[in-house]
Amino acid sequence: MDEIISKQEKVLDDYGIYNEMEDAIEAAWLAQKELIKFNLDTRSKFIAEIRKACSENVELLSRMAYEETGMGRYEDKIKKNLLVINKTPGVEDLKSEVFSGDDGLTLIESSPYGVIGAITPTTNPSETVICNAIGMIAAGNAVVFSPHPSARKTSLQTVQIINKAIIIAGGPGNLVTTVKNPTLENAEIMMKHKKVNMLVATGGPGVVKAVLSSGKKAIGAGAGNPPAVVDETADIEKAAKDIIDGGSFDNNLPCIAEKEVIVVDAVADYLIFNMKKNNAFEIKDPSLIEKLEKLILNEKGYPHKDFIGKNADYILKKMGIDCAPEIRAIIVEVSKNHPFVQKELMMPVLPIVRVKDIHEAVQVAVEVEHGFKHTAIMHSKNVDHLTALAKEIQTTIFVKNGPSYAGIGVGGEGYTTFTIAGPTGEGLTSARTFTRKRRCVLVGGFSIK
Ligand code: NAD
């Protein structure tokens, strides 16, 4: 094994890490040519080795992301990494379609794009690299990553682990590459390079717009502001627990996490009571709410980066409030126009909006989701109410009676992804998303019906 690594090391520049973006792209381009010489069974073995190596390094990657970005919770990052390692679909996701009849046999096959340029966020740095790498390589591509500069070390380490794993499995080095210094300039070189055939952006609105303006095939996985709606028919004790569990997971960094709660008046007090029983700290005093606003929002009314992904007790301490260490979230009742509701805070501060009935709840949820069509959560036992929100809000993910993360395969059915492509419509991406459909026609044969 060591022999294989040292042999490959000669052709690798530090396991896929290059000084220049052009070199990273060229290396990935050559590696992809090698990859497609292997059969699907061997490709599956490469994916299995990626999963194994990332599992072995899950503590390292989670610790690095936590320390480097200063955001989230170490123990939740372990869960997020394990989720993508174990539940991102591999080669089995590639399905062929067939037409057969008097005129013969036609296959619709899924072919790789070639080299994919993937831009990844600071909120899930190793998770997105692992998830994209598994899906994109399973589909027969190589990937050049452009990670967020604030998560540089974690992202580069993940790229190296994946490269080493593929080499150990007997595959080509450089199926995933990146640059030592990820910058916007390097991202631009990648987006314009003629050997990059597809772009996949996971991040906020700016980067989605950038890839969509590139003139290349682009997949955009953009921002969300998921509302959690609770009506009078819900199991309120469970709804309260689910909302705190989902909304405080990794300190609210995931794009799918509950970002505001909309509850009908009849059950609002009981919901708040139960949220507090589940480690939420309520701030009621209007002057303290104002103090919190001044602390966590910047002059432009956007979340202050010093508080993004921080623990609830850290935020409270900065306000001079001591709380039990098990507190996971801060809850505040505000109006729907409050910036806590309107902005994607990405911290464990959950605003609660009280509404008179389900009609107003649906209206407010649609309004504060801002048409991102990303994720919505609802707690209700009334099918008509559930249907009403689903129809109006049109989100890519709609979780009913569970925490938001059930929508990406944790305690809910289905595979996982950390690239949820709402704006461009691919939905929860997987290997087949990263393929081109090709029609392969055999005239006159194999009609044996
Ligand atoms: P961000 O938009 O600041 O950065 C994301 C990536 O885009 C980074 O690598 C950054 O360097 C790059 N980037 C930003 N502007 C660019 C431009 N003009 N050209 C090229 N690259 C550019 O986001 P973030 O703070 O890292 O992540 C949080 C955001 O991402 C939140 O809005 C969250 O909702 C969203 N997100 C969405 C998904 C999804 O699957 N839809 C998943 C995770 C995060």
Domain membership of residue 14 (yes or no) is yes
CA-based R_g, the chain, Å: 23
Residue 326: CA count within 13 A, CB half-sphere: 4
Q: What are phi and psi of 139, to 5 degrees?
A: -85, 0
Comparing 448 with 424, the larger pLDDT belongs to 424
The C-alpha atoms of residue 229 and residue 250 are separated, in whole angstroms, by 21
CATH number assigned to the domain comprising residue 369: 3.40.309.10
Specify the amino acid at residue 361.
A
The C-alpha atoms of residue 77 and residue 60 are separated, in whole angstroms, by 11
Shared domain for 251 and 149, answered yes or no, is no
> Is the Cβ atom of 210 under 6 angstroms away from ligand 1?
yes
Give the pLDDT confidence score for residue 65 in this predicted structure: 98
Residue 198: CA count within 13 A, CB half-sphere: 20
The C-alpha atoms of residue 209 and residue 218 are separated, in whole angstroms, by 10
Nearest CA to ligand 1 atom 41: 221
Shared domain for 181 and 236, answered yes or no, is no
C-alpha 337, offset from chain centre: 27
Is residue 5 predicted with pLDDT exceeding 70? no
The C-alpha atoms of residue 165 and residue 420 are separated, in whole angstroms, by 26
Shared domain for 274 and 318, answered yes or no, is yes
CATH number assigned to the domain comprising residue 44: 3.40.605.10
Closest ligand 1 atom to Cα of 120: 9
Shared domain for 390 and 296, answered yes or no, is yes
Shared domain for 275 and 129, answered yes or no, is no
> Is the Cβ atom of 124 under 6 angstroms away from ligand 1?
yes
C-alpha 436, offset from chain centre: 23
Closest ligand 1 atom to Cα of 308: 25
Going by C-alpha positions, the residue among 162, 149, 159, 144 that lies closest to residue 200 is: 144
Domain membership of residue 449 (yes or no) is no
Distance 120 CA to ligand 1 centre (A): 6
Nearest CA to ligand 1 atom 13: 207
pLDDT tens digits, residue range 290-335? Answer: 999 999 999 999 999 999 999 999 999 999 999 998 999 999 999 9
> Is the Cβ atom of 117 under 6 angstroms away from ligand 1?
no
Domain membership of residue 420 (yes or no) is no
Shared domain for 45 and 181, answered yes or no, is yes
The C-alpha atoms of residue 399 and residue 264 are separated, in whole angstroms, by 18
In the structure, how many helices (H) and strands (E) does the chain have? 16, 18
Are 399 and 258 contacting, i.e. CB atoms less than 8 angstroms apart? no
Distance 150 CA to ligand 1 centre (A): 11
> Is the Cβ atom of 148 under 6 angstroms away from ligand 1?
yes
The C-alpha atoms of residue 38 and residue 169 are separated, in whole angstroms, by 12
- What are the start-end ranges of the E strands in 306-392? 329-333, 349-355, 375-379
- Record the tokens describing residue 309, joined without a space: 């992904």
pLDDT tens digits, residue range 269-298? Answer: 999 999 999 999 999 999 999 999 999 999
Domain membership of residue 210 (yes or no) is yes
> Is the Cβ atom of 206 under 6 angstroms away from ligand 1?
yes
Q: Is 6 exposed, middle or buried (0-12, 13-18, 19+ CB in 10 A)?
A: exposed
Q: Whole domain around residue 9: which residue ranges? A: 2-222+426-443
Domain membership of residue 421 (yes or no) is no
pLDDT tens digits, residue range 118-139? Answer: 999 999 999 999 999 999 999 9
> Is the Cβ atom of 122 under 6 angstroms away from ligand 1?
yes
- In three-state secondary structure terms, 299 is coil
The pick from 188, 202, 345 for probing ligand 1's pocket by mutation, whose C-beta has the most ligand atoms within 8 angstroms, reads 202
Domain count, the chain: 2
Distance 98 CA to ligand 1 centre (A): 38
Nearest CA to ligand 1 atom 15: 207
Nearest CA to ligand 1 atom 21: 207
> Is the Cβ atom of 72 under 6 angstroms away from ligand 1?
no
> Is the Cβ atom of 301 under 6 angstroms away from ligand 1?
no
The C-alpha atoms of residue 141 and residue 433 are separated, in whole angstroms, by 12
Distance 299 CA to ligand 1 centre (A): 21
What ipTM was assigned to the predicted interfaces of this complex? Answer: 0.98
Distance 207 CA to ligand 1 centre (A): 6
Give the lowest-confidence range in 8-17, 77-86, 186-195, 377-386: 8-17
Nearest CA to ligand 1 atom 24: 121
Distance 204 CA to ligand 1 centre (A): 4
Return the number of other C-beta atoms located less than 10 Å from residue 161's C-beta: 23
> Is the Cβ atom of 344 under 6 angstroms away from ligand 1?
yes
Closest ligand 1 atom to Cα of 374: 41
pLDDT tens digits, residue range 188-210? Answer: 999 999 999 999 999 999 999 99
The residues, any chain, with a CB within 8 Å of residue 216's CB and separated by 6 or more, are 191, 196, 197, 198, 199
C-alpha 28, offset from chain centre: 24
- What are the start-end ranges of the E strands in 326-434? 329-333, 349-355, 375-379, 397-400, 420-421, 427-428
